């Protein structure tokens, strides 16, 4: 693909692609997939998607995964030597020294990316990923695009509809982003989404005496705050490194992506942490940050920041800190952490190239937008907003918890989406599905939003 679409015959970059051929005799074409992030590897995601997909879908489509520019096996970013330091910084600073430490860690991370990848960084924004996807569609021989995008992948799909509306066959945008919001509003609304998810987890704790032994004798909310304060003061121990306040919040957030399916795992981890053993929470953090068993990292963190910082401008350090009281008052647990997640973009070494904010996809075939009422990373209101922004958007609602809805063993959702992808049958506007799905085979890159991110800014993924 062209590095710079303004100079298509100039320097080229590589996009890694993997295809799982259709198994039946009535092949429709290719179905492209993206797991979100930004920074999630489609190729790593392919096996989980195939495992969860219906036989009918696999018979009719080649499932095609790709690593977006800068990600995974595509021409990659590699500037994460300070990720461990970044994750260990207190994301909810309560002193000048802690604010300075968070800012310094963010600047060190951003400076490394600028020093190593000055040529690549300006060209990693979402509109270029959508352009790559159209090039891929053509290379696969498909007249029109069929696509499923989760979390941040909905931004790619919406940009595609805006740039190439006549090339749309069917787009499923699950766990949608509201393209009209700026970085501050996205971060604050995501913080509120995780606050709500944590509150739902506390209610689950209260529903049965044996659900949350770590909160025995007090309310789960009070027990959680006490444990958080204890780890902030004295990090919990693990086999090879401490679990500090940053790793603690990452470790709490990761299972909340799975809704009720993650509650028991989170409760067990908090029980261990309350006894001074932070190893389970740290394992959740490592998975969230794509840390390998040997201590190395994948490149989801730098890719996540590279896209977010290009797509949405963030304030400078003074502007971010000026929002601290507002964020902390609005979202007591996660507010400051999502705010300090913007510090990397305050130091990002290339100029912002704002994503398109008025995405209508005028002239596109019907586009299916899927929202989950209890989604912590991409709040349900964002799905309502995107469905209304897209000229042909149709909203499908899952009344449940967790991040995204498709392939979570909710027959009403899966059947409706499969019928849309295979037959072009659009669900009736206002269709709502309820019920608790089984554990998903997919661990989606979440949210980050600023997007949802798993893959932070420094704390929460903005784009998920």
CATH number of the domain enclosing 53: 3.40.50.1820
Distance CA 417, CA 426 (A): 8
Residue range 153-166, pLDDT digits in tens: 999 999 999 999 99
Residue at 205 is within a domain: no
Evaluate whether residue 5 is within a structural domain.
Answer: no
Contact 299, 78 (CB under 8 A): yes
Q: What is the pLDDT, as a whole number, of residue 228?
A: 96
**Does the pLDDT of residue 109 top 90, yes or no?**
yes
Q: What is the dihedral of CA 55, 61, 63, 64, to 10 degrees?
A: 180
Model's pTM, two decimal places? 0.93
Q: Answer whether residue 310 is part of any domain.
A: no
Residue 448 confidence (pLDDT) above 70: no
Q: Answer whether residue 439 shows pLDDT above 60.
A: no
**307 inside domain:** no
388 is a domain residue = yes
**CA distance linking residue 172 with residue 113, whole number of Å:** 33
Q: What is the pLDDT of residue 460?
A: 42
352 part of a folded domain: no
Q: Exposed, middle or buried: residue 78 (CB in 10 Å: 0-12, 13-18, 19+)?
A: middle
Give the SS3 label for residue 103.
Answer: helix
Reported as a single tens digit per residue, the pLDDT across 20-72 is 999 988 999 999 999 999 999 999 999 999 999 999 999 999 999 999 999 99
Which phi and psi angles does 306 have, rounded to 5°?
A: -60, -45
Distances (CA, A) of 47 to 23, 42, 62, 286, 358: 15, 9, 13, 21, 34
Residue 82 resides in a domain = no
3-state secondary structure of 263: helix
Task: Residue 75: name the closest of 65, 88, 66, 64 by CA.
Answer: 66
Band (463; pLDDT cuts 50, 70, 90) = very low
**Confidence label for 464 from pLDDT (cuts 50, 70 and 90):** low
User: Residue 419: exposed, middle, or buried by beta-carbon count in 10 A (0-12, 13-18, 19+)?
Assistant: middle
Report yes or no: 133 and 168 within 8 Å, Cβ to Cβ: no
- Active-site positions read 151, 375, 403
User: What confidence category does residue 342 fall into, taking pLDDT thresholds of 50, 70 and 90?
Assistant: very high
What pLDDT score was predicted for residue 314? 92
Evaluate if residue 353 carries a pLDDT over 80: no
CA distance 451 to 246: 19
pLDDT, mean of residues 421-450: 64
Least confident of 82-86, 279-283, 343-347: 82-86
Overall domain count for the chain = 1
State whether residue 243 is helix, strand or coil. strand
Give the residue numbers spanning the domain of 68.
Answer: 17-76+125-181+357-434
In a domain, 385, yes or no: yes
């Amino acid at each position: 693909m062209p590095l710079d679409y303004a100079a298509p015959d100039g320097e080229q970059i590589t996009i890694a692609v993997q295809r799982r051929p259709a198994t039946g005799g009535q092949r429709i074409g290719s179905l492209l997939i993206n797991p979100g992030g930004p920074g999630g590897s489609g190729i790593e995601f392919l096996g989980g998607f195939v495992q969860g997909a219906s036989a009918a879908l696999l018979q009719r489509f080649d499932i095609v995964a790709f690593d977006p520019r800068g990600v995974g096996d595509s021409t990659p970013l590699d500037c994460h030597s300070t990720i461990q330091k970044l994750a260990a910084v207190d994301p909810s600073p309560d002193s000048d020294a802690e604010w300075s430490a968070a800012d310094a860690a963010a600047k060190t991370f951003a400076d490394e990316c600028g020093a190593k990848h000055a040529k690549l960084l300006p060209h990693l924004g979402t509109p270029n990923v959508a352009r790559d996807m159209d090039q891929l569609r053509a290379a696969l021989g498909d007249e029109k695009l069929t696509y499923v995008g989760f979390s941040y992948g909905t931004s790619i799909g919406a940009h595609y509809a805006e740039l190439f509306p006549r090339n749309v066959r069917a787009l499923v945008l699950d766990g949608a982003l509201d393209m009209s919001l700026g970085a501050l509003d996205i971060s604050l609304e995501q913080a509120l989404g995780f606050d709500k998810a944590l509150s739902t987890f506390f209610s689950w704790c209260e529903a049965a005496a044996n659900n949350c032994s770590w909160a025995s004798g007090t309310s789960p909310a009070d027990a959680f705050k006490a444990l958080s304060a204890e780890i902030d003061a004295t990090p919990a121990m693990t086999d090879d490194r401490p679990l500090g306040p940053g790793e603690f919040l990452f470790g709490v957030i990761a299972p909340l992506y799975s809704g009720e399916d993650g509650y028991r795992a989170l409760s067990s981890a908090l029980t261990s942490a309350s006894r001074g053993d932070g190893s389970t929470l740290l394992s959740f953090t490592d998975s969230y940050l794509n840390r390998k068993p040997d201590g190395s990292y994948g490149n989801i963190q730098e890719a996540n920041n590279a896209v977010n910082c290009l797509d949405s401008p963030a304030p400078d350090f003074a502007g971010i800190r000026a929002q601290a009281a507002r964020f902390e008052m609005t979202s007591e647990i996660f507010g400051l952490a999502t705010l300090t997640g913007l510090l990397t973009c305050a130091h990002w070494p290339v100029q912002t190239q704002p994503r398109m904010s008025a995405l209508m996809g005028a002239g596109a075939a019907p586009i299916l937008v899927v929202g989950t009422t209890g989604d912590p990373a991409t709040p349900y209101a964002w799905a309502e907003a995107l469905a209304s922004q897209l000229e042909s958007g149709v909203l499908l609602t899952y009344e449940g918890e967790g991040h995204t809805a498709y392939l979570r063993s909710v027959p009403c959702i899966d059947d409706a989406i499969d019928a849309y992808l295979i037959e072009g049958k659009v669900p009736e506007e206002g269709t709502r599905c309820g019920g608790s799905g089984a554990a998903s085979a997919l661990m989606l890159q979440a949210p980050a939003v600023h997007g949802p991110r798993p893959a932070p800014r420094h704390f929460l993924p903005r784009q998920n």
